[in-house]
């Protein structure tokens, strides 16, 4: 996550927020209360509705087709324009959880909060995708030295190859349940794009 986060209070003005977005080269920021708790998120899309209304030259109805929120179409402060409640995540959440939450809720960023709801940082799509920059050698090393020894008494019969984040696991195993456990654990290794199962069970 990024710990240097630009946040605003709910009373921040439209012009103040527009200037911050432009000067800081960001696309959104969390809105916090006086205690530092995250209460919403304002994005550049929330601000652009005013320009859309003016350009349309008729009424707020054109903007409402997109935002479906009259308050946002006429809002002048962060409290008016923010999306709430904010979709947040805890710092101990995995990358997979963050990615799933972003996908399910169709958001581009997640404020990271502590148990009290106070802002600690923010995770963006770029942060999530950066996980897949992990070198193949590091991925293979974790599988060979941490995953397999934790699941097999003798992992020497299993070979692991990694190319562009795609893991191919080959070898023979004494039980089918071990196969399922290895594949599942490998999928959760940071940086793994896909897993190719070339394992077989002895006697089958």
Decide which of 130, 146, 164 is a domain's last residue.
130
Domain contains 3: no
Q: Give yes or no: residues 150 and 121 share one domain.
A: no
Domain contains 163: yes
Decide which of 130, 153, 177 is a domain's last residue.
130
CA–CA gap between residue 123 and residue 99 (Å, rounded): 10
Q: Give yes or no: residues 63 and 97 share one domain.
A: yes
pLDDT of 65 reads 53
CA–CA gap between residue 90 and residue 51 (Å, rounded): 35
Query: Pairing state of beta strands 38-43 and 109-113?
Result: unpaired
Domain contains 126: yes
Q: Which domain holds residue 196?
A: 134-201
Q: Give yes or no: residues 155 and 118 share one domain.
A: no
DSSP annotation of 69 reads -
Decide which of 130, 156, 191 is a domain's last residue.
130
What confidence tens digit (pLDDT) does each residue in 92-144 have? Answer: 998 888 988 998 998 989 999 999 999 999 999 888 888 888 999 999 999 99
Q: Give yes or no: residues 68 and 120 share one domain.
A: yes
Query: Tens-of-pLDDT digits for all 204 residues of the chain?
Result: 888 889 999 999 988 998 988 888 888 999 999 999 999 999 888 887 666 655 555 455 555 455 455 555 567 889 888 888 999 999 999 888 898 899 899 898 999 999 999 999 999 988 888 888 899 999 999 999 999 999 998 898 899 999 999 999 999 998 888 999 999 999 989 899 999 999 998 766
pTM above 0.75, yes or no: no
Q: Give yes or no: residues 122 and 168 share one domain.
A: no
Burial class (CB in 10 A: 0-12, 13-18, 19+), 95: middle
Structural domain tally of the chain?
2
CATH number of the domain enclosing 143 = 3.30.1340.30
CATH number of the domain enclosing 90 = 3.10.580.10
Q: Give yes or no: residues 144 and 69 share one domain.
A: no
Domain contains 2: no
Domain contains 100: yes
The answer to whether the CB of 3 falls within 8 A of the CB of 121 is yes
CA–CA gap between residue 67 and residue 72 (Å, rounded): 7
DSSP code per residue over 84-117: SS---B-TT--HHHHHHHHHHHT-SEEEEE-TT-
């Amino acid at each position: 996550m990024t710990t240097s986060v630009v946040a605003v209070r709910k009373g921040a003005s439209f012009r103040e927020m527009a200037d911050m977005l432009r000067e800081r080269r960001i696309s959104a920021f969390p809105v916090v209360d006086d205690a530092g708790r995250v209460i919403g998120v304002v994005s550049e899309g929330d601000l652009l509705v005013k320009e859309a209304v003016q350009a349309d030259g008729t009424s707020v109805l054109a903007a409402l087709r997109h935002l479906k929120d009259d308050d946002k179409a006429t809002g002048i402060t962060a409290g008016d324009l923010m999306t709430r409640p904010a979709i947040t995540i805890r710092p101990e959440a995995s990358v997979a959880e963050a990615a799933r939450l972003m996908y399910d809720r169709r958001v581009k960023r997640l404020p990271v909060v502590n148990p009290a709801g106070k802002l600690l940082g923010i995770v963006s799509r770029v942060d999530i995708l950066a996980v897949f920059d992990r070198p193949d050698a590091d991925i293979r090393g974790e599988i060979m030295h941490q995953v397999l020894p934790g699941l097999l008494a003798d992992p020497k019969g299993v070979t692991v190859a990694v190319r562009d984040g795609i893991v191919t696991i080959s070898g023979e195993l004494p039980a089918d349940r071990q196969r399922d456990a290895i594949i599942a654990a490998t999928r959760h290794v940071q940086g793994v794009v896909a897993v190719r199962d070339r394992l077989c069970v002895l006697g089958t």
